[in-house]
Every structure is written in C-alpha cells, then in structure tokens.
Structure 1
Amino acid sequence: MTSSKDMQPFPYPFFPKVWFTNQFCAKPKWPPQTIDLSNKVVVITGGNTGLGLESARQFLSFRPRHLIITARSVQKGETAMAKLRDQYINTTIEVWLLDMCSYDSIRAFAKRLEMELSRLDIVVLNAGVQKVQFDTVPSTGHEETIQVNYFSTVLLSILLLPILKSKSPADSPGRLSIVNAALSLQAKLPVGDGSPYLKSFDDPERFSPQNQYPSSKALAHLFLYKLVDYVSADDVIVNLVDPGLVKGTEMSRNISGIIAVFVAGFKAVTARALDVGACTYLDASIVKGKESHGSFIMSWQITPFNNILYTPEGKLLVEKVWKETMDELAFADIQEILVFMGSNNASVIL
C-alpha cells in the first residue's frame, strides 16, 4: 500500500469536499474481535475524558495486560478509571501525571516509562488543545496551541521512540499513533522568508483561531514527513490519525458565547458518535500495519498529507521547520536519539 508521502495530493480545490467525504461517506471499520492484546502494554495520553477515555474503554475490551492513561490531574484520572477497574479486573490500570505544557513533565513521564516498565507496545498521543484566544506558555514563550499540539507532542514522540523500540518484542514493532485532524488539510502554511518560521506562530498580531489549530496539526505532517528518514517500521510504526469531528469531547471547552452555541449545534448535526471516533485510534495502532508507517490516516484509510508537502516549496519548508524544531528541543538530546533510531536505517545520511 502506498504511503502518504508517495501519494498524489488531494485533487479537490475546496476543503469542504474532503471534510464532507470524511465525515459523512466514510464507514467505520471496527477492530476484529480476534485481536489479542493479552500481553501488551498500552499508554493513552489525555485519557480521562472524551476520546481518550472512550479509546481506553475500547482497548480494555481486548484485554491488555497493562493500561496507563495520563492526565494533568491524577485525581480526575482516577475518578475516570474507577468504573473501568471494576469491569476489567485482570488488567492493571494506572493513571500517570503528564502536563503537555511542561517540558519537565514530559521528560519526567518518559523517564518513568523507561524506568518502571519492562514492556511497552502501544502509545496513543491523544492530548491536545484548541485555543480561541492567544495565550502563551510562560515557561517556553510559545503560543499554547502550537506548544501542546506541536512542540510538546514532537518532544514526547521522540523520547518515546527508543523506549518503544527496546521494550516491544523483536517480532512486533512498537506502535506510536499521534492524533491529528482533517483540518490539517485546510491549514495555510506560508512558505516564509529567511526569518525564524515557528516563532511566527507566537506573534499575537498574526494569531487566528481559525488557522492556529489547523496549522498546529499541519506542522505534524511536516514532522512525520521527515521523521521516517530516521525511524524504521521494523522498530516503531509511527502514524497520524484523524478521529473526525466527534461529539462528547472537550475540544470546544475554551469557546464561549454565541460561537459556543453555533459549534454545539453544528456538532449535534454533523459530528460522529464518540465510540466511532475512538475506534479510529484502535484502527491506527492495532489494525494497520507497517504500511501505515509515516502516513496520515483519515476515514480509516491512508490519505495524502497537506498539499503543500507535494510542492518544491513545501519540501524546503519541511527542512526549515525540522531544523528549527531540533534547535528548540536540543536541550533533551533529541538529535542523539534520532541518530540512535536511524543507526539501522540505510536511508539515513548521518
């Protein structure tokens, strides 16, 4: 099967056609009940509400040995897990602290996984935000949507790679599915000039709630496009997955007033049921195989990236964003991790 990188871009001139097809024409593909997770360890970030919680419930139906969800409040996470613990008594269910606005918290979480787990098979990076007003994260100075959905997600992804590689069985690559969005295809990513590119998203004068969230997800397309140069599907299978517009999530919690009323009405008419959205996570992480490595999964199938990636300008932008990202996260020695991951990958020029 062709990967997203090798596909032709979407031919449709308007995003609404892509969205309509994804939202209303795609048929859910539920995981086969024959799948066996009995010895596997699963991690879901942001697992105490919405899609994270529902996907935890669905993973548990396949009886993994160990499930870890993360939350910014362990107490709220424990409350969410109470009923699931009663229902799935043979699975160890834990709640671990993770704050995606904090690089220190992300590094501590990854270190804990490395130190405390003897095995790790599947990670779903579900945690994300959608801000409608400009806010920065004090510790980094970055706008919060870009911080959480891009910088922090990239950092955690890279820190997880050697853990998944070393703690999954040799005949079963680790799985890392990063939650994305169809709106990433709508994002308008300017090619830019010689000035720092990612810093432009921290400019309050340029902030647009209509474009910031899609851009944060489109940047993940650029990241994955380059990441597969370093990571072999024999070690860790990495993909992006779009759950679609879904009822019952907290993604709209920052919206208020008449806009909130409109969004609630729009979702009531057009959004998928929560269980349908969550099953896309399982499809990406336990049904899809090596063919999905380095790809964007939408409508339960591998689809093209944001159209800019199929242009010469877009490929230059990939390199620019990659360098700036490596510079931003250099404190965590991520370049050394990528060299380690790429040491068995013949396509990497080190």
Structure 2
Amino acid sequence: MKFSFSAFIKGQRSRRAPVTTADLSGKTILVVGANAGLGFEATKHFATMKPGRLILACRSETRGQEALEKLRAEINCTTAELWILDLADFGSVQSFADKFEREGGRLDIILANAATILPKYQPTRQGWETCLQVNCLSMPLLALLLLPHMVKTAEQYGTVPRIVVVASEVHHWASIERRVVEGPNILGTLGSKEYCTSKAMGTRYFLTKLLNIMFVRAMNKHLSTTAPIVVNAVNPGYCYSNIRTTFSGFQALIDSLMERAIALPTEIGSRQLVWAALGMENKPLGLKGEYISLEKVEEVSDYILSPEGATVQERIWTELVQILTKAERVSEVVNVHL
C-alpha cells in the first residue's frame, strides 16, 4: 500500500475511540518502557483494569520508581511493581528473564514499547549500534526468553497471550539498501560503525520500525501452530513524546512545528497500544502477525509485501536467531516453539 503524507495527516486527524477495557484480574501485564510517554499512559490504563500483576520494566531505577509512585497515587494500583531492564545491554535482558524464571510465573501480555532515537553512531557493550540493538535486537531477545512462560500461561489458563510491538506508520517510508541486501550479513552491516554515517542515522528510526514489523511477521510465521500466542505490531500515531529530545537544529525546529500542528496527546496514542493488547477479545487470533492502526488491521508497506521484502525478512529472521542463540536458553526456545 502506498502511504502518502496526506494519508499520514488524515490519520492524525481521525477521530479516536475511547480506550478499550477488559477485566485483567489474575493476569500479568509487562510493559517495557513504562516510566514515561506512551508506555506510562498505557500502564495507567492497564492499572485501572485490576491486573493481578503489573510489571513496569524500566532502564532507570530512579525514573522507574517515580513512575511507580505516580501510578500508585493516581490509580491506587497495589499490584504494580518495578523491574529494571536496559535494552542496550543483552546481559540486562538475560538478567531480567532470569528474574522472571524465578519470580514471574504467569505472563499474559508483553507491551514492547521501549525505543530510542540517536543522531550519531553510538555502540553498545556488545558492539552494536544502540538504536538497532534497543529497538530491534533486545526486544526480540526478551520476547524469545519469555515465550515459554506465555505458552505455559495459555495452556494452564486457556487464554491467548499477546506480544505487542510498538511500530509506526513511518515504516512505509523505509527500505533496506540494495548494497546491504546483496551483502552476506544484513543486520551486521546495519549495526556497524562503517554503515552508520550521519545520513544513515537520519533515517535509522524509520528503518527500525520496518524491522519491528518484519520481526512480528516472521515470528508469527515460525511460531508453532500449537502455541496460541498473538504477536502483533501497532502504530500509535505521531504523538507528543520525549523520544525526540535528541533532535537538534533544523530537525528539532521542524519537529516542534509538526507537534504544534498535528501531534496527538500521548494518552490518545496509548489507546492504540491498549487496543492491540486487548482488542478483538472474542477473536484474538485474528490479530496474529498483523499491523494495527486506528484500531483495525492495516496493510503493511509495499516493500514488506514485495518478493524482495519477503526474502529479506526471512534472511533477517535467520540472522537474528543466530545472534540471539548466543544467549542462554534461546536455542531451546527456538527448537521447541519456533
């Protein structure tokens, strides 16, 4: 589907429905990036639905604690708790999963909301470009490590757990350069210092959203048919957000003008995340592998749907699994569930 700038503006001005609600009694909800922005607003919505357990996964203990205290004060949610998770470090993801192995138990929803935008190349401890690792490597690692808990939850409680990845309509304006595709290692190239020039970093966020949707579609394709797990991607729309605080100069000026003209309040954007996690309650499997926008399934970009996109998606999935199987237990998860 061709996605024009006029279609983007039309979407921003579309009427938004009230937040979707459900009874979350006894259920465990995990929100990654829960201390601010869309993540915090979605967490607030979940907190009003009496969740059995609401886990706020945050990088900063200080900001996470502030969010937790604010949540308790505003919503009086007594089942919320803070867990530390730094997606810029695979070790932190592994530690988080180890903690869940010991203390987690049931897991019904993962809202994979955290993302970052950086203007320049910055490597992580593992040597990947930070945006790529945070947005596209660590989140799949977390999903794979926690997948057995979701499968077990489905079996024990007869439910359909969901993994919701926050994507964006900007994926329509992204593709992967042919010189990268023609090389032997797509992710390795995209995450390298040599590739991450100022020009490449200028469109890095768009690219990571494309990769997010490819991950959702690939994971859904490879999931065992016996595992009733919904993995989907959701577009919250263009909202007021602190994710763009790294912008400077002309880019910051344009973003500021756009915010004033068309940006949605963060709470309104968060309703889309909640719908992806709770919507179509009677037919949840209808959302498997789908891209959601304005509370309905939408077609993804022409690039993803093209023969080249399908080939690239499968190659990236294979590379991703090879990268992530270096972490403990991932090989077992892949062999059993994928």
Q: Distance in 1 between matches of 2:91 and 2:322?
A: 17
Aligned to 1:22: 11
Change in Cα spacing, 1:313 to 1:275, as seen in structure 2 (3 Å) is same
Q: Distance in 2 between matches of 1:271 and 1:233?
A: 41
The answer on 1:311 being equivalent to 2:306 is yes
Q: Distance in 1 between matches of 2:33 and 2:226?
A: 25
Shift of 1:225: 2.1
Aligned to 1:63: 50
Q: Distance in 1 between matches of 2:105 and 2:175?
A: 43
Is the contact between residue 67 and residue 91 of structure 1 (CA under 8 Å) also seen in structure 2?
no
Q: Distance in 1 between matches of 2:65 and 2:33?
A: 13
Shift of 1:20: 2.3
Q: Distance in 1 between matches of 2:335 and 2:100?
A: 21
Output one character per residue of 1:47-68: Cα deviation in whole Å (capped at 9) or x when no partner. 1111111111111111212111
Aligned to 1:338: 334
Aligned to 2:285: 290
Output one character per residue of 1:279-317: Cα deviation in whole Å (capped at 9) or x when no partner. 111100011321011111112111122222222222221
Deviates more, 1:164-173 or 1:177-186: 164-173
Secondary structure of the residue aligned to 1:176 is strand
Out of 237, 250, 254, the position equivalent to 2:242 is: 250
Q: Distance in 1 between matches of 2:20 and 2:307?
A: 41
Q: Report the AA paired with residue 299 of structure 1.
A: L
Q: Distance in 2 between matches of 1:194 and 1:50?
A: 37
Secondary structure of the residue aligned to 2:222 is coil
**Which 5+ residue runs of structure 2 have no aligned equivalent?**
none
Change in Cα spacing, 1:336 to 1:17, as seen in structure 2 (3 Å) is farther
Q: Distance in 2 between matches of 1:23 and 1:93?
A: 32
Aligned to 1:198: 187
Output one character per residue of 1:200-250: Cα deviation in whole Å (capped at 9) or x when no partner. 222233752332111111112222222112324853111111111111x21
Q: Report the AA paired with residue 278 of structure 1.
A: S
Aligned to 1:75: 62
Is the contact between residue 188 and residue 211 of structure 1 (CA under 8 Å) also seen in structure 2?
no
**Which 5+ residue runs of structure 1 have no aligned equivalent?**
1-9, 343-350
Alignment length (residue pairs): 327
Secondary structure of the residue aligned to 1:91 is coil
Aligned to 2:204: 212
Secondary structure of the residue aligned to 1:132 is coil
Aligned to 1:153: 139
The answer on 1:162 being equivalent to 2:148 is yes
TM-score, normalization by structure 1: 0.87
Is the contact between residue 189 and residue 215 of structure 1 (CA under 8 Å) also seen in structure 2?
yes
Q: Comparing both chains, which one has the higher relative contact order based on Cα–Cα distances under 8 Å and sequence gaps of 6 or more?
A: 1
Secondary structure of the residue aligned to 2:197 is helix
Secondary structure of the residue aligned to 2:128 is coil
Change in Cα spacing, 1:335 to 1:87, as seen in structure 2 (3 Å) is same
Change in Cα spacing, 1:226 to 1:258, as seen in structure 2 (3 Å) is closer
Out of 240, 243, 247, the position equivalent to 2:233 is: 240
Q: Distance in 2 between matches of 1:322 and 1:141?
A: 20
Deviates more, 1:286-295 or 1:87-96: 87-96
Q: Distance in 2 between matches of 1:31 and 1:86?
A: 21
Aligned to 1:346: none
Change in Cα spacing, 1:278 to 1:233, as seen in structure 2 (3 Å) is farther
Secondary structure of the residue aligned to 2:297 is strand
Q: Distance in 2 between matches of 1:175 and 1:281?
A: 12
Q: Report the AA paired with residue 182 of structure 1.
A: E
Aligned to 1:278: 270
Shift of 1:329: 1.3
Q: Report the AA paired with residue 237 of structure 1.
A: V
Is the contact between residue 61 and residue 84 of structure 2 (CA under 8 Å) also seen in structure 1?
yes
- Give the share of equivalent positions with the same residue, in percent: 25
Output one character per residue of 1:35-80: Cα deviation in whole Å (capped at 9) or x when no partner. 2112211110111111111111111111212111011111221111
The answer on 1:264 being equivalent to 2:256 is yes
Shift of 1:158: 1.3
Aligned to 1:230: 222
Q: Distance in 1 between matches of 2:213 and 2:185?
A: 19
Deviates more, 1:48-57 or 1:228-237: 228-237
TM-score, normalization by structure 2: 0.90
